[in-house]
Amino acid sequence: MKAVAYELERVRSVNDAWSALARDEFYKAIAGGQSLGAMLNLRLAQPERLIDLDAIAELRASTVQGDELFLGAMTTHAAIEDGKVPDVTHGMLAHVAHGIAYRAVRNRGTVGGSLCHADPAADWVSAMAVIGATCDVVGPHGTRGVPAEQFVRSAFEPDLNPGEILAQVRVPRFSANARWSYRKHCRKTGEFALAIVTGVVDPDRGIERLVLGALDGPVTAHCGPDLYARLADPAARAALLDASESGLSYERRAWHGDLLASVVADLGAKQ
């Protein structure tokens, strides 16, 4: 099957991008195209016009300002994997990037494109939520910051209004004593995850955060300083899964349970 006929418009600034998208609800932005390209060929997406963001240099810029990394939405997974982006997470960003699909996909796929596609099984959806990142959205009504854990409203539904684009992701700097763990279950290498569990403990910032991914959207658990100590108890882990994954199959619950136990062990070992 081939894509339906569509027009392609290449824009060169963020303002041009949201202005073009605001002209018609059937216009759609294309970033890396690693997910949208397949959807076009299967005719799951049938836009009248694609707004190509590839030539917008400011969307590829990544700088550290104060205690935040300003990560351009068009930054590729490969750029993060290869260390071309400043590391403010003690290697977590590079680790997540390295595990995405295959190198050919990582060369073209982008952080912003992945988040806006809003596939719950995509790595950046869960990773940015557990990191506590903020998505800066630009559109006809200005700029607004959306916490990453709220950016994916539900499966394939990002928090983007007509005419808006994701310009950058603000990633907070981890303190020297921060610890992280990221684990996922795939049937084979390169596939989207069937289960994701990831956690961050940053005692200097008073943060303990856990995310269960590959669900309808990222499920985030915030707790006090005893979160991972309590989850060392298998019964506490089972209770968390019961509360977070009601209605899911036994197999998927088991995958999340195994990953949760591994994440708790990882973070305990790093203390």
User: pLDDT grade, residue 80 (50/70/90)?
Assistant: very high
**DSSP assignments along 155-218, one per residue:** TTEES--TT-EEEEEEEEPPPTT-EEEEEEE-SSTTSPPSEEEEEEEEGGGTEEEEEEESSSS-
Query: Coil, strand, or helix at residue 256?
Result: helix
Cβ atoms of 160 and 118 within 8 Å: the answer is no
pLDDT number for residue 246: 63
160 burial (CB, 10 Å; 0-12 / 13-18 / 19+) is: buried
CA distances from 201 to 38, 104, 222, 240 (A): 37, 33, 11, 18
Residue limits of CATH 3.30.390 in the chain:
179-269
CATH code for the structural domain at 57-172: 3.30.465.10
| Bridge partners, 219 (sequence order) | 212
Calculate mean pLDDT across residues 153-163.
93
> What is the C-alpha to C-alpha distance for residues 162 and 61, in angstroms, rounded to an integer?
24
pLDDT tens digit sequence for 11-34: 999 999 999 999 988 898 999 988
CATH 3.30.390 is held by the domain 179-269: yes
> What is the C-alpha to C-alpha distance for residues 182 and 92, in angstroms, rounded to an integer?
8
Q: Which residues contact 205 (CB under 8 A, 6 or more apart)?
A: 172, 175, 178
State the helix-helix crossing angle for 250-269 and 234-244, rounded to 10 degrees. 130
Residue limits of CATH 3.30.465.10 in the chain:
57-172
Amino acid at 209: R
> What is the C-alpha to C-alpha distance for residues 158 and 156, in angstroms, rounded to an integer?
6
pLDDT tens digit sequence for 83-107: 999 999 999 999 999 999 999 999 9
pLDDT number for residue 43: 86
Phi, psi of 132 (to 5 degrees): 85, 35
pLDDT above 90 (res 271): no
pLDDT above 80 (res 270): no
Residue limits of CATH 3.30.43.10 in the chain:
7-52
pLDDT number for residue 5: 86
Q: 7-52 sits in which CATH class?
A: alpha beta
